[in-house]
Amino acid sequence: MFESLKERFQPIFADFIRSEPVSLLTSGRMTVAEYRTIMREVFHHTRENPQLQVLATVYFKGRQRDMVRMFFKHAASEIGHDQLALNDYVALGGDATDVPYQNPLPATTALLAYGFYQIYNLNPLGYLGYLFFLEFTPTQSGAGMMEALRKIGVPDGAMTFLRDHTTIDQGHNRMMERYADALIRDEADLDRVSYAMKTTGYLYSQMMMQAVEDARAPAEPGWNWEELNADRIVPTESRRSVA
């Protein structure tokens, strides 16, 4: 099943590489400011992933439960990767003071929401497709993307997130092999996982492109007041000053 999944991944990966934001980078037309904004959105996305992976295990039944320990170990290893993205954002000149307390861009929220929707409303097994895309894309494209980033002026010190995932995800890829062989039982399961993989690739490219657009014409950030002021209600007119 793992080999079949890798075959399904190749055209999805090719579509992602041809997507507008990746093409901007590989052709040298992306600016440092645009990449910086992508890192801000990557921070928002990556911060939720460890808990999302653990959530998927709630629905594992029977022999699927054999993968619970590995899922937890995998999820724990992802904790803190959001800080790498935020560090890169700062290294590129961004001010991270308020970033953790702002809402992500809508396209980033859509990518995050899809992971939860897949688990809650479609089939939790499809989450493997979400995870597969995130783990295999950097190991296949990371080195080339880092070279493209250098050409547009991004220093190596601002590539910690991408460099980490280009190397560490090699181990996670081996975990994905075990997940696939243990959890995907038939062609229908393979279709579910492939669909999630394709959807994730599309939504990830949308997140990147909206970040590029926001760098060009920044929107007013939405403040996440539930996190900033969990124990009190702040009048609308005073929210910005409190932040």
**220 — pLDDT class (breaks 50, 70, 90):** confident
Q: What angle do CA 156, 200, 29 make, to 5 degrees?
A: 40
Average pLDDT, the chain: 88
pLDDT attached to residue 234: 44
> pLDDT-based confidence at 161, cuts 50/70/90?
very high
pTM to 2 decimal places: 0.87
Q: Which CATH class is domain 2-242?
A: mainly alpha
By C-alpha distance, which of 81, 59, 57, 74 is closest to 175?
74
In the 8-state DSSP scheme, what is residue 70? Answer: H
Cα(213)–Cα(182) distance, integer angstroms: 41
Q: Compare 210 and 5 and report the one with higher pLDDT.
A: 210
Q: How confident is the model at residue 139 (pLDDT cuts 50, 70, 90)?
A: confident
DSSP code string of 13-27: HHHHHHSHHHHHHHT
Radius of gyration of the chain (CA): 18
Q: State the DSSP string of 122-162.
A: I-GGGHHHHHHHHHHHHHHHHHHHHHHHHHTT--GGG-HHH
Say which residues have a Cβ less than 8 Å from residue 58's Cβ, sequence separation at least 6.
124
Q: What is the pLDDT of residues 225-237, one digit of tens each?
A: 555 555 544 444 4
What does the domain layout of the chain look like in residue ranges?
A: 2-242
- CB count, 10 Å around CB of 146? 17
Mean pLDDT over 7-32 rounds to 96
Round to whole Å and give the CA distance between 143 and 220: 34
> How far apart, in whole angstroms, are the C-alpha atoms of residue 38 and residue 21?
10
